[in-house]
Amino acid sequence: MGQVPTLQKPYLIVGGGRLASHISHYFKLLDIPFYCWHRNHEHPLSTFLTLTEKVLLAVSDDAIEPLSETIPQKTTIHFSGALTLPKVESAHPLFTFGPDLYDLGTYRTIPFITEKGRLPFSDLFPDLPNVSYEIDAEKKPVYHAWTSIAGNFSSILIMEYVKKLEAINLPPSLAKPYLTQVLKNSFQSQTALTGPIARGDEKTIRKHLDVIEDYFKLVYESFVNLYRKRAS
């Protein structure tokens, strides 16, 4: 039997970036009613507040608190993984949102992280089938910092790696099977690291450092020092 839709007023999605676009698309796929508003909208935000009970703040972290203070007497929800506000609920999607929209199956797999002691995910989004997990509010900065390191930092490295392949006339497509296996190995074993750092090939490491430029040289040195510290 399918999910029974709830009888509630449409959501109001505030924001004009990627997250707002993905949430809007997901709601469309599930036939969940909603309105959208962004700062360049022809009508003021107050026009839409009378039409909704839940306001979703899909905006930057810095904009969440001041914007929430202009929205009285509504259930307001933000999507920041680091921010905790006493009068605003939160549900952080543990996922990455690219420029292209996803299919329904992908959206359904996204887990959400909420705060212990606040409204449960099932109350915030009764029509969404996604799983959710609760963490203590004081642990959110640690959770989000490491989520950013794992996702954002690796994206920077991958994009730079692809650029370097192109620079030496190798097809960027070579990166995908290699990096896919790296990720698979990393989930399967705590000893998945290979290469000169794991083997202790000092001459090769020095050759690498001779040709790596700018901040990436500092990143490489930091990884070498981290591995040596953990291995000692």
% of the chain exceeding 70 in pLDDT = 97
Question: Do residues 114 and 198 both lie within one domain?
Answer: no
Number of domains in the chain: 2
Q: Round to whole Å and give the CA distance between 98 and 216.
A: 24
Question: Do residues 147 and 128 both lie within one domain?
Answer: no
**Residue 108, token pair as written in the block:** 């359904």
What pLDDT is recorded for position 2?
Answer: 39
Which domain-ending residue is among 76, 102, 135?
135
Which domain-ending residue is among 135, 158, 179?
135
Strand partners, 76: 55
Strand partners, 36: 13
Question: Do residues 112 and 181 both lie within one domain?
Answer: no
What pLDDT is recorded for position 6?
Answer: 52
Question: Do residues 148 and 221 both lie within one domain?
Answer: yes
pLDDT at 132 over 90: yes
What pLDDT is recorded for position 231?
Answer: 83
**Greater pLDDT, 191 or 81:** 81
- pLDDT 10s digits, 9-27: 899 999 999 999 999 999 9
- Predicted confidence band at 126 (pLDDT cuts at 50, 70, 90)? very high
Question: Do residues 24 and 63 both lie within one domain?
Answer: yes
3 within a domain of the structure (yes/no): no
Q: Which domain holds residue 101?
A: 11-135
For residue 74, what is the domain's CATH number? 3.40.50.720
What pLDDT is recorded for position 7?
Answer: 52
- Among residues 134, 123, 97, the alpha carbon closest in space to that of 19 is found at 97
Whether the CB-CB separation of 115 and 90 falls below 8 Å is answered with yes
Question: Do residues 112 and 150 both lie within one domain?
Answer: no
